[in-house]
Structure 1
Amino acid sequence: MPFNGEKQCVGEDHPSDSDSSRFSESMASLSDYECSRQSFTSDSSSKSSSPVSTSPPRFVTFDEVMTAARNLSNMTLAHEIAVNENFELKQDALPENSLAGRVKHIVHQAFWDVLESELNADPPEYEHAIKLFEEIREILLSFLTPGGNRLRNQICEVLDTDLIRQQTEHSAVDIQGLANYVISTMGKLCAPVRDDDIRELKATSNVVELLRQIFHVLDLMKMDMVNFTIRSIRPHLQRQLVEYERTKFQEILEETPSALDQTTEWIKESVNEELLSISETALTPGAENSSKPSLSPTVVLNNSYLKLLQWDYQKKDLPETLVTDGARLQELTEKLNQLKIIACLSLITKNMVGAVTEGFPQLADRLKRISAVLLEGMNKQPFNLKEALNSIGLQTCVEVNKTLTERGLPTLNAEVQANLIGQFSSIEEEDNSIWSLIDKRIQLYMKSLLCLPSSQKCMPPVPGGLTVIQQELEALGSQYANIVNLNKQVYGPFYANILRKLLFIEETMGKVNASSPPN
């Protein structure tokens, strides 16, 4: 969130300091295309990354499919670690009322009950307890760094299972003492966040319950260690992410030649729309038709990215090159839809009652907060948008009348209130003019973000009517631009190959049609 008087900038969260240079390298072929059409006739693109192939289809073996799946899984995990600063692994807790949860609880409880009965027997049976200490020893050793030889030797000496067995044979074993040593060692190795858990262990007197809780805390410590490792490797992944993802995707493409089919269709749709737009412009009276205009690969690709802001993520699969950012794009789109409605509501309110509420900035902020609260969860089922809009309309009338009354001004009459509520409720209707206007302006703003040169990172001015959501829109725009720019860096060469094929085909068809004699 920017401070007052500051402009939020695009690309500040990029994973590398050399993003602009990498982007230039990965998208160089697109720039070359715009400068010279001769590159289309060259065979510089790799066969594996070409969306159109003249060779017959080949069968993909199960091993190849599994290899591609592993590559995709590794690439997705690396991407998530690098771009999501809050990414961490958590323990997979089963729901308590689920069948799996109940079975797990019963089995674990049975194990600890058996252990308790063995330790309370006369004479006690220690074999299960010894195995537990052996497992604890291995877990503790796994936490040590390569240089921790002194503590390693100490753990191996104290938790020597052969020695413990000899002690049990002579009734000289001290289970409580061993547990206390384990707790003390855990206190030295654990993260500060586990200090309270260690104190609780020290306060536990029942040996069986103590061992049970020791394993629970050890599981937490293992997860802490994994997340610490993730945080440690994140800077390295961020520096190597572009090359790593590109290499992994190339491996996937070699194993699965159809791995760019949906991406090709995604770009092809924008090519067709751009051609249609050019055709309509050419047919406009007064338009110059002296030469056939050429499609810009950059414009086509940017238009493809803009489609993601209106994507139906529930019914339509994402292009393969955007799967790793699917969750982020969906969340961004859902937030953007909410902001669109808030902007529509603000514009309607301003048009209808702006004359009487002008000069009350606190009222506008209050109405915005009310709208945001009542629209929370609008992208989830079940959510009745019409009812929510009607409620916002009623609450808006209440707040406006309250403000007018406090200022000693006449309140809104019943007709104005009914009209205001009706216009609010009509926002969800198809082809609503207010919605179309706000949507077009947001699309224009997002498009201007994608057109910014790499040297200019400050946000472009927000179009009129969007001031009420400016702060949130700039934040979302920054996230969107970061996703798009990183995606261009990684998959730029693949997009260039697809665009060469698609645009070269379109140009060839255009030349053939132009040279064909009229009937």
Structure 2
Amino acid sequence: MPDDSLKRSSSFELKKEEEIENRSSINSLGTTEDMKFVLISSNGSPPKVLSFDEVSQLSKNLENMALIHEIALNPDFKLKPYEPCNTLEKVVKEMMHKAFWNVLKEQLNSNPPCYDHALQLLREIKECFPYIILEKNKKVLELINEKLDPSIIYEQARNNSLNFRAYADFVIDILAKSCAPIRDEQIQNLTKIEDVVEVFKGILEAIAVMKLDMANCILELTKNELIANAIEYEKLKFQETLKYDKNFPGIKMWLKRNEVRFENASKINSNETIFRAYIELLDWTTSNIYPEVFSHDKSRLERLSTTAKKLCFLSTICAVLQSIPLFKKERLKMFSNEILILLDAAGSEIDFQDSRESIWIHILATFSQGNESQMRVDNDNLKENFFYAIAKGSPVYCLMWKRLITYICIILKTKNSPPPPPGYEIYETELRTFALNFKRIVMYNYSVYGEHYLKVIQENEI
């Protein structure tokens, strides 16, 4: 804040032109079009920061394909208010907020009152309304322009007749008529605040969440259009790339490794080859070159791969425990959820096989509830057998992985919603969420690059 803004004014002497030019940094309060949002990803991709204008222009501007791609493939895309990650930036922002409100209170309490900050605040609030009220509500916007006319407010301030509280009540009334039902209580609470500065603090908070609501609404309404445009745009850009560079070794080797031929072995089964290639992404060998067209999705696919292996590992444990007579069946579901929590707490980078010891300790604790004496019998042998049974590559693990892949293939090839395979019933919710997220990536990728895959396969046919 400028130092002179901290001084009391005995009269309102600023000229209108000077007052407009010397606006304080209310932008830091988040009241203007510079307010930012963060696009949240549920699939491990880094969050992206957007301005309100960027949100509203997404459907018209497809230059930022990485962003459009993220929205198209993120089923839970949401925006949240941007908060500085830098500690210094955060401290400065908080100090500026505090200074602004302190100066506003000081100016209003001076005798006679000074309205420098009040005028700036009302102007900023007026500029916010087009961002929280749809353009079709022209009468409301016209009313706002009429009531919050800068020249009228300026004259009122100059004549020392500005009723700041009346303007607060007008703004609250407009917000109440424009907000989503979920915000009704927040707006209603503003009418109960007596201190006018605190009222305007609450007004700005309400405007901030209403901007967030509107931004998310815009994204939701334009999502289908964004996806359709993104697919066509990515196809076009890829075709342009092929004019200059047709050498994509990662794609060629990926499809070649997963080649499936018909029974007479004279022709490649293109569809099965492509499906098998997609499945390989869930158990990728790091020494292989990753297909180039998954540059935007590699981290997302790696996380899905981790999820698939975790579900297989958990289901293998449950299958093994079901074969132990001492383990009560009714305890299995609770135990399996406890193991899921243990693995989630360990982080996504954990090697599940390294967690066998902690899982075994948890099993011992479970057995000890009424079966401790029996459990101690041949304890080492039980542990050894258990470790062998749940190891990657064991017959049980391989069977559970095969069931998982079969389930995924059904999800990919049909519109049906099959029941979870045997052994996965306990994790039905997690399995279905994983499968649908994987299918979303596969279908989008095939829509863009499927034609190219078919051409590559045809070129490799003997």
**TM-score when normalising by structure 1:** 0.65
Matched, 1:300 2:267: no
CA distance in 2, matches of 1:124, 1:89: 40
Give 1:70's aligned residue: 63
- Contact between 1:363 and 1:403, CA under 8 Å: does it hold in 2? no
Q: Which amino acid aligns with 2:238?
A: L
Q: Secondary structure at the match of 1:90?
A: strand
Matched, 1:88 2:78: yes
Partner of 2:313: 341
Equivalent residue number for residue 487 of structure 1:
445
The 8 Å contact of residues 62 and 230 in structure 2, kept in 1 or not, is answered as no
Asked if residue 370 in structure 1 is aligned to residue 338 in structure 2, the reply is yes
- Residue in structure 2 matched with residue 114 of structure 1 by the alignment: 103
Query: 1:89 aligns to what SS in structure 2?
Result: strand
Residues 131-182 of structure 1, C-alpha deviation per residue, up to 9 Å, x if partnerless? 2212211222443334434323322222111111111222111111111211
Comparing 165-174 and 371-380, the one that deviates more? 371-380
C-alpha distance 245-495 of structure 1, shift in aligned 2 (>3 A) = farther
**In structure 1, C-alpha distance between the alignment counterparts of 2:367 and 2:245, rounded to whole Å:** 54
Aligned mates of 2:377, 2:269 — CA distance in 1: 54
8 A contact 1:94–1:100 mirrored in 2: yes
5 Å-filtered alignment, 1:496-507, equals 496-501=454-459, 503-504=460-461, 507=462
**Mapping of 1:357-506 within 5 angstroms?**
360-380=328-348, 383=350, 385=352, 388-400=355-367, 402=369, 411-415=374-378, 417-425=379-387, 431-432=393-394, 434-447=396-409, 449-450=411-412, 452=413, 454=414, 457=416, 459=418, 462=421, 472-473=430-431, 476-501=434-459, 503-504=460-461
- Distance in 1, matches of 2:268 and 2:98, equals 69
Partner residue in 1 for 2:126: 137
CA contact (8 A) 1:262 1:319 kept: no
**What is the percentage of aligned positions where both structures have the same residue?**
22
1:429 offset after TM fit, Å?
6.0
Q: Counterpart of 1:64?
A: none
Which of residues 78, 82, 92 is equivalent to 1:103?
92
CA pair 350-208 structure 1, distance change in 2 beyond 3 A: closer
Tell me which amino acid in the other structure corresponds to 2:377.
Answer: A
CA distance in 2, matches of 1:241, 1:432: 42
**Matches of 1:458 and 1:115 in 2, distance apart?**
59
- Report which structure shows greater RCO (CA 8 Å, sep ≥6): 1
Q: Aligned partners of 2:417 and 2:108: how far apart in 1?
A: 69
Cα-to-partner distance string for 1:303-339 (whole Å, 9 max, x where unaligned): 21011212489x9996454455556544433322222
Q: Deviation at 1:413?
A: 4.1
Q: How far apart in 1 are the matches of 2:425 and 2:392?
A: 24
1:269 alignment partner in structure 2: 254
Structure 1: distance between partners of 2:106 and 2:452: 65
| Separation (CA, whole Å) in 2 of partners of 1:429 and 1:219 | 52
Q: Is the 8 A contact 2:420 2:428 kept in 1?
A: no
Matches of 1:272 and 1:317 in 2, distance apart?
Answer: 12
1:14-73 alpha-carbon deviations (Å, 9 max, x no partner)? xxxxxxxxxxxxxxxxxxxxxxxxxxxxxxxxxxxxxxxxxxxxxxxxxxxxxx992413
Residues in 1 aligned to 2:172 and 2:182: alpha-carbon distance in whole angstroms: 15
CA distance in 2, matches of 1:69, 1:146: 23
CA contact (8 A) 1:79 1:324 kept: no
Cα distance in 2 for partners of 1:491, 1:221 equals 39
- The residue aligned with 1:248 is 233
User: What is the match of residue 191 of structure 1?
Assistant: 180
Q: TM-score, normalised by structure 2?
A: 0.73
| Alignment of 1:156 onto 2:145 | yes
